[in-house]
Copies of this chain bind each other. A is one copy, B any other.
């Protein structure tokens, strides 16, 4: 697969998707005659601002998501703990079923800066091509073909309102065709995943009895970069650390004091540079200690995963990758350290000749099994200390700043959590894989996705395995501006959801 182009992969994927799963086929037929209605319902949902911290907005979303389920005959209720967006819970009891499946998605979206978006993030638009390929905004045509390569642009178009709509459409299709269900179905749609799920644990605790199941199917994240369906058995954990370094107590004229007053931007550069080598390997002591090794099945899955690294490099305009050219799919099984943002004084037209007063970096660490968020954060903090910094948690006062040559304010953001990984050898894992293979052609099997979802919490509190069943295109600008979903991914997602709902 090494030298194949994305185009070839698309062709392979098309052939491979000759389906044998009846529920998936049913869903396809139903979708083909209801595309406009599905898109209309989707775009209405995307038009609702959905930041977890915006309480009024997030409750409007919860009500809309509940209404979507109720419309399909799903009994819903809101699971609440104080100070948290509600979980929308829904349930379909299937007489005689011995298995219960929980479908998880989230209806909140990543924080954003509207100025960076080509069109407002909560005014969904259809484009006839990806934006970076010159896609224009077009109306949803009142008749004729809806090109599956068109895309919808809006916050949460992929992450993670698409699965909500895919499940709703799949339920419609199954009902319309009278397809029999074999499992009890539950739906858990969270409202603060992008804020790090700070209350999910207490909600799971409080509603433990309601949430009995055999498996959680996590409907989040992208399919494989080859566009093949993937089924993922874990997710990396996350720890987020903000670092602020201090220079003079206010910005200084860089001429009058440059050479003499320490520059916090330069100090930050030196500190960050000390954390990774030029090849991207983290040089913090013990950073890689304790990683739980992959099983033989998992190793085989990684080895068999399509190698699209070359294609991805072309797509992303990369002249190199980090970590000695190892495959992306391998590297996801290691912890990562990423500078997600960095700022000091001003650049561009507003830059001026100053020594900045502070410099800030925000770092996210992706965790794998065997390294918890506290351990990872402590390793980073120990490293900062080893570089000569006195560590403070709040803004340091004059006395503190004068008593120490170097002072760093380090904040470990709340909401970090460890990685999780379900064995591919479990019977439920095998069932999901067989179902997905039949619905969407031979699927890619991955021990972990690169991103983070709080799977550990579900496994820990409810003692139940999780399996991730994503539907979004990989190039969806998730977590960034101009988030989007490719229409074909939504269509494919409806078929996958139908197969899983009916399994």
Contact = CB atoms under 8 A, between A and B. Distances in A.
A437 B321 CA distance: 64
Contact of A366 (B113, B254, B268, B452): B254
A19 interface: no
A479 B254 contact: yes
Contacts of A452: 255, 353
B450 A253 contact: yes
Given A261-B322, A265-B342, 11 more contacts: A110-B353, A248-B318, A253-B480, A255-B366, A256-B332, A262-B321, A266-B280, A278-B388, A319-B405, A341-B354, A347-B360
Interface stretch (A36-44, A171-179, A396-404, A485-493): A396-404
Interface stretch (A60-68, A71-79, A144-152, A269-277): A269-277
A344 B360 CA distance: 11
21 contacts: A111-B351, A113-B346, A221-B256, A240-B353, A250-B482, A251-B477, A254-B340, A254-B479, A255-B452, A260-B309, A265-B341, A265-B361, A266-B273, A269-B270, A270-B278, A317-B398, A319-B403, A319-B406, A341-B356, A348-B362, A352-B480
Counting chain B CB atoms within 10 Å of each CB, the highest count among A256, A474, A477 belongs to A256
A70 interface: no
Contact of A236 (B255, B340, B341, B406): B255
B481 A251 contact: yes
Copies of this chain in its oligomeric complex:
2
A322 B260 contact: yes
A6 interface: no
Q: Which A-B residue pairs are the 8 nearest by beta carbons?
A: A255-B451, A269-B272, A251-B480, A273-B273, A320-B405, A258-B336, A259-B336, A265-B339
A371 interface: no
Interface residues of A, number: 106
Interface string A105-132: 0000011110000000000000000001
Interface string A422-462: 00000000000000000000000000011110000000000
A204 to B, nearest CB: 22
A316 interface: yes
A21 B96 CA distance: 107
A478 interface: yes
Given A317-B398, A344-B341, A322 B356 contact: no
Nearest to A387: B278
A359 interface: yes
Nearest to A240: B353
Interface of A: 110-113, 132, 221-222, 235-236, 238, 240, 242, 246-263, 265-266, 268-276, 278, 280, 309, 313-314, 316-323, 326, 328, 331-332, 334, 336-356, 359-362, 364, 366, 388, 398, 401-407, 449-452, 474, 477-482
Given A261-B316, A347-B341, A479-B352, A250 B132 contact: yes
Contacts of A318: 247-248, 261-262, 401-402
A342 B319 contact: no
Given A255-B450, A266-B339, A336-B254, A317 B352 contact: no
Contact of A263 (B236, B240, B338, B346): B338
A407 B255 contact: no
Nearest to A482: B250
A331 B259 contact: yes
A269 B266 CA distance: 8
Counting chain B CB atoms within 10 Å of each CB, the highest count among A316, A477, A478 belongs to A316
A458 B255 CA distance: 20
Given A111-B350, A362-B351, A238 B255 contact: yes
Given A256-B449, A450-B257, A451-B255, A351 B341 contact: yes
